């Protein structure tokens, strides 16, 4: 027999034998098969490789080959994936962006698209509604970028020089394009930063509350988020110093320009205090400046990295919030040896950000349409913020709004006693409005119940008024249920 005929004959024989045996049965050794079928060892090796590719056998080095678990033969019938529970055991477990969860289930990421009931009002998530995005300018920028002869060439790991120059100019204070690393969105940059700056199992300090995506990225990197309380001026320097001393942490994640979810801006008096505390601890401060282009008419405070000359602050900003969720372009700015580490890690992770997207970002940011969009967006966010705050005051006067922010996309609202954030969020969905429950923003147990309400995710300002009316009806329903329960207890 030719070699190909020998392989086919042995394959057919073993397939028939495997069909008769229960899963886990040990198959004859290669030597036994070669002797029984009068074939060479190369033929037997090819046959077992083919059977393994077909999912009929599994091989355990040093032990032998065995009949694999049966696979469903009909299309659409799900396979048995229960084996994964054993394989994944002890390898990190589920990521919980909002801290402890009832039932152990992980919530959606902060900016995941929320499932909107038919006819519902979306007041959740962290992106602009399509009506607020610069759709025409994005299309034009992408078309111009695609016409460049080098549009599909490989991009440098650090990013295109013109794009890095734009981000360097944004920060100022002697920042050069060489200090800039272009990444594929802010979330991926956070994941890289946490892995680069802290060892698995170590602590990372965060404002409390904070962005759930940062909590998720820290936990995915094997880190332990440690809360540092805030007040009306931002993160507290005294408690930050205590936290560094007690935990030995070497990383602080902070949003000084516009805090998500509260909208707080770090006071001018505390800017140098925070940097001094970080320097004294020999630590890094990761500055997440997500709202750099989301001001409401007033300038957003200058980046904190502008007050740092010693490389303690690592700056992060992105274009996904002010432009489009799919414009996955962010910039990390750092100084010193850490810059080399970040570039090397970036090269390992994914080499570089897609060049057409970078070219489109350069076109967009260099076009007069970008400044027009920024002005229009600023006016729209200011209007929507006022509409939502006014509707809350009129419909839900017992709810607490401590701050009307000067930037960002959200209001942070405290609930009155007796109302739990998860219960309100569930009741609101039943009434046709989607909101974010506040407990997801705390790394540990929240001190009170809050909701984060977006004024940028709805199509029109009028939708915000309708959303608050529905929210008020949901709250009244819950209040009646609580009262009835107290009367019957």
Q: Are residues 40 and 153 in the same domain?
A: no
d(C-alpha 396, C-alpha 411), whole Å: 14
Confirm if 320 and 330 have CB atoms less than 8 A apart: yes
- Name the burial class of residue 157, with classes exposed (0-12), middle (13-18) and buried (19+) by CB atoms within 10 angstroms of its CB: middle
Q: Are residues 153 and 208 in the same domain?
A: yes
Q: Are residues 138 and 239 in the same domain?
A: yes
Calculate the CA dihedral of residues 437, 443, 448, 453 and round it to 10 degrees: -30
In a domain, 116, yes or no: no
In a domain, 268, yes or no: yes
Measured CA distances, 4 to 27, 31, 39, 42, 424 (Å):
22, 19, 11, 11, 68
* Number of domains into which the chain is organized: 3
Query: Would you list the DSSP string of 389-429?
Result: HHHHHHH-TTSEE----SBSSEEEEEPPTT--HHHHHHHHH
Confirm if 214 and 188 have CB atoms less than 8 A apart: no
What was the pLDDT predicted at 31?
87
Q: Are residues 388 and 450 in the same domain?
A: yes
- Residue 446 sits at φ, ψ, to 5 deg, of -70, 145
In a domain, 87, yes or no: no
What was the pLDDT predicted at 37?
86
Question: What CATH number is associated with residue 466?
Answer: 3.90.1150.10
d(C-alpha 326, C-alpha 187), whole Å: 13
In a domain, 36, yes or no: yes
Query: 56 CB contacts (<8 Å, ≥6 apart)?
Result: 15, 18, 67, 68
Residue 317: strand pairing partners:
331
Q: Are residues 316 and 390 in the same domain?
A: no
Name the domain boundary from 306, 335, 369.
369
Q: Are residues 357 and 392 in the same domain?
A: no
Q: Domain range spanning residue 363?
A: 133-369
Q: Are residues 54 and 177 in the same domain?
A: no
d(C-alpha 24, C-alpha 67), whole Å: 5
Name the domain boundary from 337, 369, 401.
369
Q: Taking the CA atoms of 48, 50, 56 and 62 in sequence, report the sign of the dihedral they define.
A: positive
Q: Are residues 385 and 452 in the same domain?
A: yes
pLDDT tens digit at each of 489 positions of the chain: 556 677 888 888 888 888 888 888 888 888 888 888 888 888 888 888 888 888 888 887 777 888 888 766 555 555 566 666 665 665 555 444 444 333 333 444 455 545 677 788 999 999 999 999 999 999 999 999 999 888 888 888 889 999 999 999 988 888 899 999 999 988 899 999 999 999 999 999 999 999 999 999 999 999 999 999 999 999 999 999 999 999 999 999 999 999 999 999 999 999 999 999 999 999 999 999 999 999 999 888 999 998 888 889 999 999 999 999 999 999 999 998 988 999 998 888 888 888 999 999 999 999 999 999 999 999 999 999 999 999 999 999 999 999 999 999 999 999 999 899 999 999 999 999 999 999 999 998 888 999 999 999 999 999 999 999 999 999 998 876 554 454 444
Q: Are residues 261 and 337 in the same domain?
A: yes
Count CA atoms within 13 Å of residue 438 on its CB side: 23
Name the domain boundary from 48, 67, 86.
67
In a domain, 111, yes or no: no
State both tokens at 298. 């007033």
What was the pLDDT predicted at 130?
94
Q: Are residues 480 and 351 in the same domain?
A: no
Q: Are residues 191 and 295 in the same domain?
A: yes
In a domain, 365, yes or no: yes
In a domain, 89, yes or no: no
Asked whether the bond before 375 is cis by omega within 30 degrees of 0, the reply is no
Measured CA distances, 445 to 1, 125, 225 (Å):
73, 22, 12
Confirm if 434 and 116 have CB atoms less than 8 A apart: yes
d(C-alpha 353, C-alpha 345), whole Å: 13
Give the residue from 174, 161, 235 showing the smallest Cα distance to 205. Answer: 235
Question: What CATH number is associated with residue 351?
Answer: 3.40.640.10
Question: What CATH number is associated with residue 53?
Answer: 1.10.10.10
In a domain, 164, yes or no: yes
Question: Per 3-state DSSP, what percentage of the chain is helix, strand, and coil (rounded to 5)?
Answer: 45, 15, 40
Q: Are residues 174 and 319 in the same domain?
A: yes
């Amino acid at each position: 027999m030719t070699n190909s005929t020998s392989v086919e004959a042995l394959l057919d024989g073993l397939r028939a034998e495997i069909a008769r045996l229960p899963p886990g049965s040990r198959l004859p050794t290669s030597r036994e098969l070669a002797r029984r079928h009068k074939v060479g060892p190369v033929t037997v090796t090819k046959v077992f490789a083919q059977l393994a590719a077909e999912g009929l056998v599994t091989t355990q080095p040093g032990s032998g080959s065995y009949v694999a678990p049966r696979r469903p033969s009909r299309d659409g019938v799900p396979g048995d994936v229960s084996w994964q529970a054993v394989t994944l055991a002890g390898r990190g477990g589920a990521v919980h962006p909002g801290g402890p969860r009832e039932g152990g289930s992980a919530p959606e990421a902060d900016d995941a698209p929320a499932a909107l009931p038919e006819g519902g009002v979306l007041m959740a998530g962290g992106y602009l509604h399509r009506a607020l995005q610069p759709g025409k300018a994005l299309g034009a920028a992408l078309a111009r970028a695609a016409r460049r002869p080098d549009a599909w060439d490989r991009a440098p790991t650090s990013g295109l020089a013109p794009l890095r120059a734009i981000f360097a100019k944004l920060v100022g204070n002697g920042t050069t394009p060489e200090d800039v690393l272009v990444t594929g969105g802010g979330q991926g940059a956070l994941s890289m930063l946490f892995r680069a700056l802290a060892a698995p199992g170590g602590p990372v300090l965060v404002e409390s509350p904070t962005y759930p995506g940062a909590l998720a990225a820290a936990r995915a990197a094997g880190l332990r988020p440690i809360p540092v309380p805030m007040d009306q001026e931002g993160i507290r320097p005294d408690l930050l110093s205590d936290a560094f001393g007690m935990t030995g942490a070497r990383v602080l994640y902070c949003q000084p320009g516009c805090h998500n979810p509260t909208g707080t801006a770090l006071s001018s008096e505390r800017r140098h205090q925070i940097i001094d505390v970080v320097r004294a601890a020999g630590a890094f401060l990761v500055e997440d400046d997500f709202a750099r282009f989301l001001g409401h008419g007033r300038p957003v405070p200058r980046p904190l990295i502008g007050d740092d000359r010693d490389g303690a602050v690592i700056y992060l900003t992105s274009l996904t919030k002010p432009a489009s969720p799919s414009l996955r372009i962010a910039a990390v700015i750092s100084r010193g040896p850490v810059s080399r580490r970040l570039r090397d890690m970036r090269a390992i992770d994914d080499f570089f950000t897609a060049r057409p997207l970078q070219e489109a970002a350069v076109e967009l940011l260099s076009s007069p349409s970008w400044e027009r969009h920024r002005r229009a967006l600023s006016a729209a966010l200011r209007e929507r913020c006022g509409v939502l705050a006014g509707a809350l005051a009129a419909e839900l006067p017992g709810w607490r709004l401590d701050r009307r922010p000067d930037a960002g996309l959200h209001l942070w609202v405290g609930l009155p006693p007796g109302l739990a954030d998860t219960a309100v969020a569930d009741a609101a969905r039943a009434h046709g409005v989607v909101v974010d429950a506040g407990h997801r923003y705390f790394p540990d147990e929240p001190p009170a119940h809050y909701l984060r309400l977006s004024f940028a995710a709805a199509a029109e300002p009028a939708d915000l008024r309708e959303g608050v009316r529905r929210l008020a009806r949901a709250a009244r329903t819950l209040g009646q249920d609580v009262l009835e329960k107290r009367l019957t207890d």
